[in-house]
Amino acid sequence: MFELRNPDGLARMTADFARQGAMATFGVTVAEASAGRVVLHLPFNADLTQHHGYIHAGVITSVMDSAAGFAAFTLMDADAEVLTAEFKASFLAPARGASFRVVGEVLKPGRTLTFTQASAFAVTDAGEVLVATLTATMMAVRPRPDQRPDAARA
C-alpha cells in the first residue's frame, strides 16, 4: 500500500529498534516489517505484570507506541527520526496470554506528521484476543541545518 521513501528504511528501522533499551528489557522483538507496517512480539513475563497478574497497561501501551512509531519511521525520509507527538490507548480486555502480537500501521503518512494505529492481541491456546488499541500521531524530527554532518564543511 505504501512505498519506502528511503531504500534503507527497513534496515534502518530494525537497527534503531535494536537500540531501544525499554523494548529489550521487555523482551520485545520485531516479527515483521514492511512499508508502513510493523509487527512486534512480546513474550509473557511475570516481571511485567500488575497486581492481578496481567501484563501491565503501561507495558502494553509502550509496545503499541513503538509499533506505531516504527511503522511511521519506515516511511520517513533518510534524514528524519521519529518521535511520538500524542496518543490515545484503549483497553478492551485483560492482557493475559502466553505472548502478545502488536501490530502498528500507518493510516496517513506525511512529511512532518504521520497518523498511525496499533492493536495488541493476546495469543492464547484458543487463538488471539484483542486486548488494546492505540491511535497516535508521530512526528518526523530532522536536525537543524547547523547540526547536519555536512554543516562543518560549509
Grid coordinates representing 66 are 513503538
> Quick check: 30 and 16 in contact, CB under 8 A?
no
Mean pLDDT for 145-150 is 63
The pTM assigned to this predicted structure is 0.92
Cβ burial of 61 (10 Å; 0-12, 13-18, 19+) is middle
pLDDT in tens, 70-101: 999 999 999 999 999 999 999 999 999 999 99
- C-alpha span between 45 and 26 (Å, rounded): 8
**Residue 149 DSSP class:** G
- 129: pLDDT strictly greater than 70: yes
pLDDT in tens, 30-66: 999 999 999 999 999 999 999 999 999 999 999 999 9
Q: Where are the domains of the chain?
A: 9-141
Q: What is the CATH number of domain 9-141?
A: 3.10.129.10
Backbone angles phi, psi at 93, to 5 degrees: -160, 155
